[in-house]
Structure 1
């Protein structure tokens, strides 16, 4: 029997993108079902809000969950899937600790950033077959940094208690490297375009990707492209870091 996949994502463009990633990752996909919100996902899984989803003969083997949905947080669904026999992967735009660690604590088996390249996402999803956790490169680096800092809240102990499966995962040899420091050198912010500065301003004020797109009258994936460019120019890896650095440099 092939693998049945559920994609919980409110943006149709992102759903299509993730569907292509899944089909490229596995040769035995029997079907991909899409849900645009929590209510639709629960209906497909056969349970109600606040209840635990139960296994069914023709149940899903892989569930991709966005964290920000129109009717709530994907964290709710992750908790409801605690006893459901499926691999649960977060697919999101957020790489900050405030989203990452709660997702792991709610039982996520992997954490992927939708802004990663198609081939990177395919390579990470294929790790499931080898019993390894799918982690975007930026997320893997963040977790390693927390392990080495010995943060009791977010470090190794918290990671182990989250239920995140690490069996078979072989960490790369970073013996001769050091985690990137939180405080970075002043960026060449003058290279930001006017559009990027506008996006950065909204990011610093706490607006979501969708809200920024609506305010600027552009598509969410265009905003995402601007954010990736901002990250590269400012040498940061999350919205929170970009906002803090922008504030310190007086950019907003």
Structure 2
């Protein structure tokens, strides 16, 4: 089954460029849906269960979101999709703090600049399968500068579900609870298997290969693991799981 991708971009030339970037970035069979405005994007999402509806109807696994659109701002859609099971990445020309941090707060899992070279964007998108947040080099530098200069860490985004430590976006780690996990929040066998591989240092792509599943599916399992264990990195998840005998 093809991996479904939604690209929200009002400029036809930029949209075509991003389609090429996506197809070049992943070895999976990709099915791309294009939208030129918020209304069209919402209509497509409604066909896959809606922003907060049922997701058993083959939802999008990757969504690229432009910020400035004819009928609003892409951050509106990001805010609506906080519960939607997809990796959401901003693709924009804006690299300033006034756009970067609000986008992360709205739930963006990555932030890419469309002005970057084709090869750079492909490399950044490929980081998803390695468990790393896709960030344009200029954005990564801006984040480092912000936090090194004493910027407020709470302006950064909540955990995106990536398997790597969120040190780039946060100056401190969330406390790890050590109480017993309620039965209804215990990990499924598949999630336990993913967590075991994570604790051993395997990347998302390697885990997918070992388990015979898509890397997007592995990423979904990781998001569920983080939510159930109330952690924000693979290190925290592995420590807590060991303490509680979950793996």
- What TM-score results when the alignment is normalised by the length of structure 2? 0.63
Aligned to 2:31, what secondary structure does the other structure show? strand
Residues 168/134 of structure 1: CA separation in 2 closer, same or farther (3 Å cut): same
Q: Corresponding residue for 1:163? A: 159
Give, in whole Å, the separation in 1 of the partners of 2:115 and 2:40.
25
1:12 aligns with 2:18: no
**d(CA) in 2 for partners of 1:29, 1:109:** 22
How far apart, CA to CA, are the structure 1 residues paired with 2:27 and 2:88? 19
Counterpart of 2:196 in structure 1 is none
- CA displacement at 1:150 relative to structure 2: 1.3
How far did 1:151 drift? Answer: 1.5
Structure 1 residues 201-238: Cα deviation after superposition (integer angstroms, max 9, x where no partner): xxxxxxxxxxxxxxxxxxxxxxxxxxxxxxxxxxxxxx
- Spell out, residue by residue over 1:13-67, the C-alpha distance to the aligned partner (whole angstroms, 9 max, x if none): 00000000000001113310000000000000008xx964652422100000000
Q: What whole-Å deviation, never above 9, does each CA across 1:123-174 have from its counterpart, x for those lacking one?
A: 000000011100000000000001101112xxx3332x533456425989xx
1:59 has 2:59 as partner: yes
Distance in 2 of aligned mates of 1:53 and 1:94: 31
C-alpha RMSD over aligned residues: 2.2
Matched length: 166
Runs of 4+ in 1 over 4 A off after TM superposition: 169-172
Distance 1:51 1:132 in 2: 25
Aligned to 1:44: 44
Farther-moved stretch of structure 1 (118-127 vs 163-172) = 163-172
TM-score by length of 1: 0.61
Using a 3 Å threshold, how does the CA distance of structure 1 residues 22 and 71 change in structure 2: closer, same or farther? same
Give the number of the structure whose alpha-carbon radius of gyration is greater: 1
User: Counterpart of 2:75?
Assistant: 75
